[in-house]
Amino acid sequence: MPAHKNTLLIKTKAQELGFSYCGISKAEFLEEEAHHLETWLKRSYNGKMSYMENHFDKRLDPRLLVDGAKSVVSLLLNYHTNQLQTDTTAPKISTYANGEDYHVVIKDKLKEFLSYIQSTIGEVNGRVFVDSAPVMDKAWAKKSGLGWVGKNSNLIHPKQGSFFFIAELIIDLELESDGPIKDYCGTCTRCIDACPTDAIVEPYVVNGSKCISYLTIELKDAIIPNEFKGKMDGWMFGCDVCQDVCPWNRFAKQHQEPRFNPKTNVLEMSKNDWKELTSEVFNELFKRSAVKRTKFDGLKRNIEFLTD
């Protein structure tokens, strides 16, 4: 089939699988991002995320991940919800982690997607990605017109804001590419002004080592640096501040994925419940959750840092 028909087929299937948006870009070297990534790493903004220094070339060229790659299919899946934790004084969990682990949910969809492409179009070689390999998700989503990367470094879609997971299919199939869209951040600095730890050091540049998400998830040290005492804004896993204040998120809509629905027993935990959290309760609450990444000791460390 010609490229335009295959493109329509793929975008239609993406919608059927529940993805919010689908965009396509040519699989090629990310020249502009190469300079930005190199500078970011030189400034040690990756903190102790040493894995960010690995596979530099693969991060920038999808053809090193999939032989003969021709297209990157970028996908957005909405996770926004208005359901909040009932105790407003309790330690907070980032919205994206309230439901079932997105890695599992999205990978299930992606595997079905790739299988459909192979059975419908023919012999197509490819791989699926959701935070699972050195792929620059936001760069590819931006190239394929799914939004612009805002001053908080999140991808922002003009119709629905930034509460999305990003995933990709990298395939050796020629498709019609979409072009990037304009940056609509304008003169707004709400995310920069609101960041509790001043992690957004300049527009579009985040010092990862100061980000609350990094401190509560990626940092594996036994102790969070004391300089952040009183600056965590109550977050024990992740942080939504720069998204919550973004004017574009007034357009955010309730997600339609049942597996992302928050667990009632998690939302109803009180401040005291969290302080008294046991490993047994942790394992029960977060059986199929992204929060498991911190492990019990990590979450306990975060809670104690907030409440001591």
21-78: pLDDT as tens digits: 999 999 999 999 999 999 999 999 999 999 898 889 999 999 999 999 999 999 999 9
210 belongs to a structural domain? yes
For 252, other C-beta atoms within 10 Å of its C-beta total 23
**Is the confidence at residue 1, as pLDDT, over 80?**
no
Chosen domain end from 141, 171, 201: 171
Residue 195 is predicted with a pLDDT of: 98
281-302 per-position pLDDT tens digit: 999 999 999 999 999 999 999 9
102 and 13 share one domain: yes
183 belongs to a structural domain? no
Among 31, 38, 12, 56, which residue's Cα sits nearest to residue 143? 31
Mean pLDDT (the chain) is 96
Residue among 61, 87, 131, 178 flagged as catalytic: 131
In the chain, pLDDT over 70 holds for what percent of residues?
100
Q: What amino acid is encoded at 79 in this protein?
A: Y
87-105 per-position pLDDT tens digit: 999 999 999 999 999 999 9
196 and 146 share one domain: no
185 belongs to a structural domain? no
72 and 220 share one domain: no
| pTM attached to this predicted model | 0.96
Q: Hey, what's the torsion of the CAs at 246, 250, 251, 257, to 10 degrees?
A: 90
Residue 132 is predicted with a pLDDT of: 75
196 and 291 share one domain: yes
76 and 198 share one domain: no
179 belongs to a structural domain? no
184 belongs to a structural domain? no
Residue 131 is predicted with a pLDDT of: 86
14 belongs to a structural domain? yes
16 and 128 share one domain: yes
Q: How far is CA 46 from CA 139, 196, 214, in A?
A: 17, 18, 9
218 and 297 share one domain: yes
**Is the confidence at residue 307, as pLDDT, over 90?**
no
Non-local (6+) Cβ contacts of 10 within 8 A are 22, 24, 73, 117, 175
245-265 per-position pLDDT tens digit: 999 999 999 999 999 999 999
70 and 152 share one domain: yes
254 belongs to a structural domain? no
Tokens at 252, concatenated: 């955010």
Query: 63 burial class (0-12, 13-18, 19+ CB within 10 angstroms)?
Result: middle
**Is the confidence at residue 308, as pLDDT, over 80?**
no
219 and 134 share one domain: no
**Range 198-222 average pLDDT:** 97
11 and 148 share one domain: yes
Torsion sign across C-alpha atoms 107, 140, 243, 93 = positive
Chosen domain end from 138, 171, 204: 171
Cα 55 to its chain centre, rounded Å, is: 20
Tokens at 1, concatenated: 């089939």
In which domain, by residue range, is 201 found?
190-247+263-307
63 and 199 share one domain: no
Spatial separation of the C-alpha atoms in residues 278 and 297, rounded to whole Å: 10
Whether 113 and 128 have beta carbons less than 8 Å apart is answered as yes
Report the domain count for the chain.
Answer: 2
Residue 303 is predicted with a pLDDT of: 98
149 and 291 share one domain: no
**Is the confidence at residue 9, as pLDDT, over 90?**
yes
Note the residue count of the chain. Answer: 308
**Range 126-136 average pLDDT:** 91
Active site residue 61: no
CA-based end-to-end distance of the chain: 63
142 belongs to a structural domain? yes
